[in-house]
A and B are shown apart, each in its own frame.
Chain A
Amino acid sequence: MAHEDDAQQAVPTAPRMRTDGDGVTRRRPLRGQHVEETVEVDVPVRTAYNQWTQFKTFPRFSTVVRDVEQLRPTVTAWTLGYGPLRHRFAIEIVEQDPDSYLAWRGLEQKPSHQGEVEFMPTESGGTAITVRMLLQPQGAAKIVARSSGAARLTARSVRGELMKFKQFIEGLGQEGGAWRGTIRNGRVQHDHPEPPRSRVAQWPVG
């Protein structure tokens, strides 16, 4: 006997994948309608990238990020604040290549967003940081989000945050930490047999 309710079911969006020349399948970069902003920062790629991986420090420079919890290398929970309002959401890092690229997606299905950040060395020895974000709001917010005004507002906000990051890392001069791991399809890849965070009790727990 089975009981079932096959009513409306949220079918998750299939991940958009690409297979690169090295044979590894990676998530495909965002294309189409999204917000894209680039700033150049006057520190080397490694410095900029390392600082970016220190998500818990984002509230130090950001005007909207109030708190970041690093739940595990691939999962962070972000609390954004506007005045007295707070919104917490979790994101998953789906791809991460040191000194190069990081892609994420929101874990909430409603509303959903995804984004990526690329780090490119500049001729002057600095770093061009490009952020692309795609918001997929639900319900009434979807209508609002379609307006060009909303897109401009989002772009301005992303640019503003990038400029804050630029001031922050240029002011510090060097990174305050680093996470140099690689993430593929939401899963941490290790070439080191025993990374520090794996050193925990392994015996069976009944």
Chain B
Amino acid sequence: MHNPPDEEPENTLSVSPPKKWAAGVPAVVHALGYSLEQTSPRKTGVDLLTMNQVGGIDCPGCAWADPAPGRRHRNEYCENGAKHINDEATTRRITADFFREHSVSDLAVRSDMWLNQQGRLTEPMIKRPGSEHYEPVSWNDALGVLAQELTALDSPDEAVFYTSGRASNEAAFVLQLFARVFGTNNLPDCSNMCHESSGFALSETLGTGKGTVSLDDLHHADLIFLVGQNPGSNHPRQLTALEEAKRNGARIVAVNPLPEAGLRRFKNPQKPSGIVGRGTQIADRFLHIKPGGDLALFQALNRLLLEAEDARPGTVLDHDFIDAHTTGFEEFAQHARTVDWDDVRTATGLTREEIEKVRDEVLKSERVIVCWAMGITQHKHGVPTVREFVNFLMLRGNLGRAGTGACPVRGHSNVQGDRTMGIWEQMPDTFLDALQKEFGFDPPRPHGLDSVNSIKAMREGRVKVFLALAGNFVRAAPDSEATEEAMRSCRLTAHISTKLNRSHTVCGDTALILPTLGRTERDVQADGEQFVTVENSMSEVHTSQGRLEPASPLLLSEVAILCRLARRTLDGEADIPWETFEGDYGTIRDRISRVVPGFHDFNARVTRPGGFQLPNPVNEGVFKNKVGKALFTCNEHVVPRAPEGHLLLQTLRSHDQWNTVPYTNNDRYRGIHGSRHVVLVNPADLTELGLAQGDHVDLVSVWADGSERRAENFEVVPYPAAKGSAAAYYPETNVLVPLDSVADISNQPASKGIVVRLEPVLDRTQPTSA
């Protein structure tokens, strides 16, 4: 165990060649190394051996599904999950002395890493108007201040209630209930910023907002596409599923602007072949695509499939499926045949021959799955791209059968469950009617604010109170300067948090830190020890229960904080038994079972080993969209272009990072060590731009309205990024993403495909902090 750092780590960059494989022994060494830095061997052992086990802790690191009970490894976690869980279980503590020592403005210039490394929050803190310091406050006073601000608003819509994907189903349900009884649908969430484009596209075309694939499907697919995702760093346990699929004969096509290590080879540290052998090759075919070229790629593939059907009628397309279950095929086919090969070449950087080889893979495969993540959804045309995936799957009937389907790979552990529980600013009337029937109040019907619109409303003074259930909104959101201005415009900001982050330091006139229990900790309430539930990326709902003693006796659970806040704010309105909810989470689940479709007998079913899986209508042969059939769509052809002298930037995470929190300045798979202020650029582009390794540049983004945004002093690293593109770390480069840079239809921030130029700087050698 090490003490928290006093000073920021030095930024001294060294670069080594990118790795050609992921995991292996180094993953174990790094996971244990970081864990033991943070906490004791005993706590590390307790956490890791109960993580993702039946009755244990659901890893908060990602939403990847667990194998069925009885098929789980003794060590059912990855390097990043191990780091994340022990980052939470750290023995470091932040006390009132820390805040006396560090003013808010001092904390506001600290890096994300430094803030996180200070340890767990232990007691409620308040920053009063005009004060430069947080100071201790009792829970009663803290919640009283928050309740008073809320009730003093002219309208409930002047408050925003943000949810991060760490929140449990129970906490999420209570929060949305409280917000709606209070009178607003202003319930933005991190879903707005990660897979909103997937949700919109899948709902429209298939009538389900969720993926249709289970682990067993992946294991039994013939062909798996990994598009715009980096499983080696962002969902490493997916590699185990891919390894199983390969063992069973699957082929994998990876599509990415960067040749990520985890797309190339996986050394499973739980197998001898992963320790001393070469491991498993993941991608049989790698398409080095330009950012945003995925739509054009799948449109081209669809055209090729239609032409293959023309050449051999009745042998390529699944006419039974298309005729019986879909609509819009003729219009789609007509549109697909207009794909222009020159445009495809420009958009993707791929040759027609490369795409034809992929078509051949498809034609050999009876069962196909497409997996994707934020490399797709965070583009302006994220929704059309996901729609085109659906077109592609439908052509050969790769939906609703074993080993087939659509697989949006989600990041945060309960991001899917929170949405299922009603955390959405646009919940349909069916849900609101069910709430009304169950609780006897009239929920507000007008749609509320999503994340981007919340920021705009705060900046414009239309929202005055911001409450966050977990997360680090300031750093997760785009356009950092605008977001920070928005937060500072609020009368009150409050965060239910486990650890310190920048959202506590960029705050409203009054700011509250409401410290809460982590996933690793025992949660004892009036009715005894509680567990919470979550829903993973494959719609499996199961329990999570911590084993460690809380970081402080003053911590309250998320559910307890929200129930107490509701009691203080609503003063008996709607006659909801908040106190009972706080004392026994089973009573919340009873209510959920009557409000949320698919959760009948929730308490009984979720306590079975492994919980239960929510059915997916698509796999039941039903498409519950507006037209009642799976919908082929015609998507406009898009060719992302950067003006001469500019590149298309994608923001991304390093391997040693969890969401907005970097654990170190290293990114060992990409060969980056000691600094995060780097920009990765194709060597040919560097030559054209007159730049070389080690040059320092400002990244300047150019937006349609002529405005420019600047991220200062990044070091140039030649890297095998797709020609014409650049990559730099999130959240440091969020400042480059304009608030209006959003995906069409979904309003998801578009943090990929940002047009930037690299302006050399000669007089700065050190990056600015934060």
The residue in chain A whose Cβ has the minimal distance to the Cβ of B247 is A110
Chain A residues within 8 Å of B748, by CB: 206
* Of listed A197, A205, A206, residue having the most chain B CB within 10 A: A206
Chain A residues within 8 Å of B596, by CB: 201
Against A, the Cβ 8 Å flags (1 = close, 0 = not) of B82-117 are 000000000000000000000000000000000000
- From residue 5 to 54 of chain A, which have CB atoms closer than 8 A to chain B? 5-6, 9-12, 14-15, 24-25
The answer, yes or no, to whether B402 is at the interface (CB within 8 Å) is yes
The answer, yes or no, to whether A149 is at the interface (CB within 8 Å) is no
B249→A110 contact, CB < 8 A: yes
Taking A201-B209, A204-B202 as contacts, is the C-beta distance between A2 and B354 under 8 angstroms?
yes
A109 to B244, CA, bound (A): 12
The residue in chain A whose Cβ has the minimal distance to the Cβ of B263 is A3
Q: How many A-B pairs with Cβ below 8 Å?
A: 182
The answer, yes or no, to whether B232 is at the interface (CB within 8 Å) is no
A202→B617 contact, CB < 8 A: yes
Taking A185-B320, A205-B191 as contacts, is the C-beta distance between A195 and B622 under 8 angstroms?
yes
A75 to B428, CA, bound (A): 32
B621→A188 contact, CB < 8 A: yes
Task: State the Cβ distance, B143 to closest chain A Cβ, in Å.
Answer: 29
Task: State the Cβ distance, B625 to closest chain A Cβ, in Å.
Answer: 8
B209→A204 contact, CB < 8 A: yes
Chain A residues within 8 Å of B403, by CB: 92, 107
A79 to B617, CA, bound (A): 27
A172 to B428, CA, bound (A): 46
Chain B residues bordering chain A, tally (CB within 8 A)? 78
A12→B222 contact, CB < 8 A: yes
Task: State the Cβ distance, A3 to closest chain B Cβ, in Å.
Answer: 4
Chain A residues within 8 Å of B614, by CB: 200-201
Indicate which residue in A2, A88, A198, A206 contacts B286 across the interface (CB closer than 8 Å): A2
* Of listed A1, A15, A202, residue having the most chain B CB within 10 A: A202
Chain B residues within 8 Å of A126, by CB: none
B248→A109 contact, CB < 8 A: yes
Chain A residues within 8 Å of B189, by CB: 206
- From residue 184 to 200 of chain A, which have CB atoms closer than 8 A to chain B? 184-190, 193-195, 197-200
The answer, yes or no, to whether A133 is at the interface (CB within 8 Å) is no
Against A, the Cβ 8 Å flags (1 = close, 0 = not) of B338-365 are 0000000000001000100100000011
A186 to B290, CA, bound (A): 36
Task: State the Cβ distance, B594 to closest chain A Cβ, in Å.
Answer: 13
Indicate which residue in A72, A181, A188, A201 contacts B420 across the interface (CB closer than 8 Å): A201
B214→A71 contact, CB < 8 A: yes
Task: State the Cβ distance, B750 to closest chain A Cβ, in Å.
Answer: 14
Task: State the Cβ distance, A135 to closest chain B Cβ, in Å.
Answer: 17
Indicate which residue in A73, A200, A206 contacts B419 across the interface (CB closer than 8 Å): A206
A104 to B614, CA, bound (A): 24
The residue in chain A whose Cβ has the minimal distance to the Cβ of B207 is A202
Taking A188-B400, A206-B189, A206-B195 as contacts, is the C-beta distance between A2 and B202 under 8 angstroms?
no
The residue in chain A whose Cβ has the minimal distance to the Cβ of B720 is A1
B428→A203 contact, CB < 8 A: yes
Indicate which residue in A4, A184, A189, A206 contacts B198 across the interface (CB closer than 8 Å): A206
Task: State the Cβ distance, B574 to closest chain A Cβ, in Å.
Answer: 23
B402→A184 contact, CB < 8 A: no
Indicate which residue in B259, B365, B616 contacts A12 across the interface (CB closer than 8 Å): B365
Can you list 20 A-B contacts (CB < 8 A)?
A: A3-B285, A5-B284, A6-B284, A10-B249, A15-B366, A90-B402, A92-B220, A107-B220, A187-B401, A190-B621, A194-B622, A195-B622, A199-B598, A200-B598, A201-B420, A202-B208, A202-B624, A204-B203, A205-B198, A205-B210
Which residues of B are at the interface with A, using a C-beta cutoff of 8 A? 68, 71, 189-196, 198-200, 202-203, 207-210, 214, 216, 219-220, 222, 248-249, 251, 259, 281, 283-288, 318, 320-321, 324-325, 350, 354, 357, 364-367, 397, 400-403, 410, 415-416, 419-420, 424, 426-428, 431, 596-598, 613-617, 619-622, 624, 628, 746, 748
15 extra A-B contacts, CB within 8 A, seeds A12-B222, A186-B401, A202-B208: A2-B287, A5-B284, A9-B251, A12-B365, A74-B619, A90-B402, A109-B249, A110-B249, A185-B318, A186-B402, A187-B325, A188-B619, A195-B620, A202-B617, A206-B199
